[in-house]
Amino acid sequence: MKLHTSRARYSMALVAGVALTLSACGSEDAETDSGSEAAVEVDSESEAAGMVPDAIKEDGKIVVGTDASYAPSEFLDTDGETIIGMDIDLFTAVAAEMGLEVEFQNADFGSIIAGVDGGKYEMGVSSFTINDERKAEVNMVNYFSAGTQWAVAEGNPESVDPDSPCGLTVTVQANTVQDLDDLPPKAEACETDGNPMEILQFDGQDQATAALVSGKADAMLADSPVVSYAITQVEGIEAVGEIYDAAPYGYVIPMDQTELADAIVVALNSLVENGGYEEVLAEWGQGEGAINDFAVNP
């Protein structure tokens, strides 16, 4: 679990990204280093470890696809290689409860579920909102709750109203629930009213945030933890409107790996009991998203 404190890293990385014209650190499919600076003790004798299928525990690790552009959940450290974040620390602790180490591989968000289905990754951990479409493809285990939040330049100079975004330029990460479910009906209504909304889609959330910071967009919407964390790290932006459509994040597991999914539920419950779950969320300032009803395909 995460024990180091380095909350300025995201701000430094984002500013550097803007200066370098938004180099897409999180959108390429590449293997990177991962793990927290503090060692996590692997417990091969735990109840959860005994439930892990032999084929997965054979090499002592689990290969996980993640889009490292989504601070504070998963993003690249200032070395441009090491993947850090709340999701990274929490799942590293979950895996340790199952007697496993983790190899995180950086990937485009939209490719991760297909990668899990195709066997490229044994799991996906990347702030996936649980919905029926995803549960039709994979198993999902809930571990956190988040909603949608809008952000604007400080002082809201464009008088952005999330309920009436017509005429605005709005930035979003592609293939998120905000991109696929939230914005399309709003954009259609604006088009009908003759005052269209321009949507800037980016492969990485870091790029979407940078578009707002640099003034290329009037507003941004993303998961509430992403917006709240960005506000604490980057000067010149603020939240606007209320958080809405709260929903659980879920770990992505192959449809045929029900035993692994069950083991993850047991591991999460163990982390709640020993305090590790709360510790990770608190370290990243995300305690409000804690849940205690872990389940497969809730």
Q: What is the DSSP annotation of 202-268?
A: ESSHHHHHHHHHTTS-SEEEEEHHHHHHHHHHSTTEEEEEEEEEEEEEEEEE-TT-HHHHHHHHHHH
pTM (predicted TM-score): 0.79
Fold designation for 147-246: D-Maltodextrin-Binding Protein; domain 2 (3.40.190)
Is it true that 9-146+247-289 and 147-246 share their CATH fold?
A: yes
Return the CATH superfamily for domain 9-146+247-289.
Answer: Periplasmic binding protein-like II (3.40.190.10)
Tokens of 185: 């009906």
Apex 29 CA angle, 25 and 32, nearest 5: 70
Per-residue pLDDT of the chain (298 residues; tens, 9 = 90+): 223 333 344 444 444 444 333 322 333 444 445 544 445 677 777 999 999 999 999 999 999 999 999 999 999 999 999 999 999 999 999 999 999 999 999 999 999 999 999 999 999 999 999 999 999 999 999 999 999 999 999 999 999 999 999 999 999 999 999 999 999 999 999 999 999 999 999 999 999 999 999 999 999 999 999 999 999 888 999 999 999 999 999 999 999 999 999 999 999 999 999 999 999 999 998 999 999 999 999 9
Sign of CA dihedral 222, 211, 200, 80: negative
Identify how many contiguous H helices and E strands the chain contains and give both numbers.
12, 12
d(CA 97, CA 272): 11
Sketch the domain layout of the chain as residue ranges.
9-146+247-289, 147-246
d(CA 214, CA 201): 15
d(CA 189, CA 1): 45
